[in-house]
Structure 1
Amino acid sequence: MPAPIEFFFDFPSAYAYFAALEIDELAARHGREVRWRAFSLGTAFRLTGAQPLTRVPLKSDYTALDWARVAQQKRLDFAIPEGHPHAGLPALRSFHWIDARDPGLAKRFALEVYRRYFDGSLAIDDVAAVIETAAGLGVDREALASGVADPELKAKVREVGEEAVSRGAFGVPWVIVDGEPYWGWDRLPMIERRLAGD
């Protein structure tokens, strides 16, 4: 079997959200699986000196317009949350805790977090709200609450971020196909052509 496609993402990124909606189906069309890897983009920003798009003059206005266009095309309820971007460490840690037990459920959790963050109904930096979101998918509240507070899990999240940066990630979505990196939701057609052998 070919190696899984690696999909590095962070919850405050709408472009990563758009990619998350497509990446598994794209891979499945070519007999591939996807390994979802959540990390804090802040790790890369600290190294590169970059900032979130919505905090950069001119880029922020264009980004808001572009996200709205893509969301409309995808028929998504979409609004940039007040105070965006939120760091979202509770969501990242919850994803990793769930992923260690059930990767399929972790993907469903990630998609639900994305949907609710970008429709304004979830603060991804609110531990209790994130746990409730997971509980709505059948995750044990108490076990998850204990898990996200575990220093070993916190270290794991940091390690994934450091690994992503060590492998070149400076933005999300960051997709690695057979060792070759692709940055951006708009690179998915290029990934598809590669997988098709074009």
Structure 2
Amino acid sequence: MSKTVEFYFDLGSPATYLAYTQLPKICERTGSQLTYIPILLGGVFKATGNASPATVPAKGRYMFQDLDRYAKRYGVPLKFNPHFPINTLMLMRAVTGMQLRHPERFATFIDCLFKALWVDGRNLDEPATVAAVLTENGFDPNEVLTLTADEHIKAALKDNTEKAVQRGVFGAPSMFVDNQLFFGQDRLDFVVEALG
């Protein structure tokens, strides 16, 4: 029976972007299922007392150097976003809405947003930039905006975030295999072992 990787993610985390580039390949190689669970990282931080490593200047500088090393190892593009940190509330509501209402377009949707943030360095704090990115990728910005205002979708993102905290999630990316938590894109080798 195939195993599942539950992937708790927020677009605003560069480490999550790197995990996102690798997990589909890992799951394909191991015959595993990948389940995407959108969360609001700010809500996780607030609930757990955690904070972004970037809030400690020396740690932040190191983190981005380290992420760059991993991007080179993985053979994927990564550019430090000059607008970091990004408030991802509306983006993650949109992601949740797309997953619930248009699952057939979900992968393309998160692809274009991850690329805009962590390859193109675009400012997704600005509604006009978000609208431009969506339009360029074949999405209707007004339709997406409607999703972000839907009370059911707002509640789903909040519920995902609360359940993540209850399971022990304190940051992103977080992955579960057989209820075992793995935190960070630099722990993917342990995810592979757990899938074996």
TM-score normalised to structure 1 length: 0.87
Query: After alignment, is 163-172 or 65-74 more displaced?
Result: 65-74
CA apart distance, 1:105: 2.6
- Give, as a single letter, the amino acid of the residue that structure 2 aligns with 1:95: V
Partner of 1:43: 43
**Higher share in helix:** 2
8 Å CA contact retained: 1:90, 1:124: no
Q: RMSD of the TM alignment (CA)?
A: 2.1
In structure 1, give the amino acid aligned to 2:24: D
- Between 1:101-110 and 1:26-35, the stretch displaced more is 101-110
Q: Quick one: distance in 2 between partners of 1:104 and 1:118? A: 23
Q: Give the structure 2 partner of residue 107 of structure 1.
A: 107
In structure 2, the partner of 1:177 is 177
State which drifts further: 70-79 or 36-45: 70-79
- C-alpha change, 1:100 and 1:3, in structure 2 (3 Å) is farther
The secondary structure found in structure 1 opposite 2:35 is strand
Percent identity (aligned): 27
| Corresponding letter in the other structure for 1:26 | I
* 1:103-138 deviation line (CA, Å, top 9, x unaligned): 353123212211211234432333443344344444
C-alpha contact (below 8 Å) 1:90/1:126 kept by paired residues: no
Q: Residue 126 and residue 153 in structure 1: after superposition, are their counterparts in 2 closer, same or farther (change >3 A)?
A: farther
Partner of 2:31: 31
Question: Aligned AA for 2:20?
Answer: A
Matched, 1:52 2:57: no
- Give structure 1 stretches of 5+ with no counterpart: none
Native 8 Å contact 2:83 2:123 kept in 1: no
TM-score by length of 2: 0.88
Q: 2:86 is matched by which residue type in structure 1?
A: H
Q: CA deviation at 1:144?
A: 2.0
- Number of residues paired by the alignment? 196
Q: Counterpart of 2:93?
A: 93
Listed as ranges, the gaps of 5+ residues in structure 2 are: none
Aligned to 1:157: 157
The CA distance in 2 between the partners of 1:187 and 1:151, in whole Å, is 35
